[in-house]
Chain A
């Protein structure tokens, strides 16, 4: 059976595309630090009870903050948020205005209610 040029090209393109993704994933495996990987148990221990303001804050945290602070808020690129001693007003101000060159400002993206919920979540981390 002789394959047409177009079909040969499709096979080659599929293999190349998958190989490219495979190589990228292999690079990720090489680059990723081996120690300090968070366990699912640790990540689950920070989830506040359903229906609370802190729970809403947790959901917002996972979408907006977890990629820097880690999904368990134990810190990654951003700092560990457990045991934060700052006031609610200071936490809200940091979320809204960010830190120049370090943390994005969320004042235009999140409503005051969202910021309050996030502050409540950060507060709830003290007890975990």
Chain B
């Protein structure tokens, strides 16, 4: 009976140590970041493409369907982005700007992250009630966000490529 608390304490200590080691492991965070970043980039790309189709397509029903698809892609992209950001911060050990390629990566990713969250909130609030002019502005801003995110991805890849 008296052994159980000791065993439990030992297991908890080992578990905490294991988790701490995992948190300090840069290879783990490099893999997590590499995996997590592709979801927001790909989903934002899909969202912008479908929104473009939803903006120009002639058939009204198709336009609505394209916009709906773009809306959900954007929401998932925004929901997935914190995982990419947190793993990136852990990978760079909390460095928010840095130097060289890391700085170039950060110059683009911080505005892109803020814009992605902002755009998702705007879409969530307006839904289908936005004017065509507002949708045009939204599309321009979403395209800028996509370019910024892809540029950040390029510099991020440059840091890791060839390892």
Contact = CB atoms under 8 A, between A and B. Distances in A.
State the majority secondary structure of interface residues on B.
Answer: helix
A78 B86 CA distance: 21
Interface of A: 5-6, 8-10, 12-14, 16-21, 24-25, 27-33, 61-68, 71, 76-77, 98, 100-106, 108
Interface string B114-147: 1111110110011001110010000000000000
Contacts, number: 109
B159 A17 contact: no
17 contacts: A5-B130, A6-B130, A9-B122, A10-B122, A13-B121, A17-B116, A18-B114, A20-B113, A21-B114, A24-B85, A25-B96, A27-B89, A64-B101, A67-B99, A67-B159, A104-B161, A105-B162
A7 B46 CA distance: 26
A13 B118 contact: yes
B26 interface: yes
Given A21-B110, A32-B94, A71-B99, A8 B125 contact: yes
Contacts of B101: 63-64, 67
Contacts of B90: 31
Closest 4 CB pairs of A and B: A32-B94, A17-B118, A67-B102, A31-B94
B95 interface: yes
Contact of B162 (A32, A67, A104): A104
A12 B125 contact: yes
B7 interface: no
Contacts of A13: 118-119, 121-122, 125
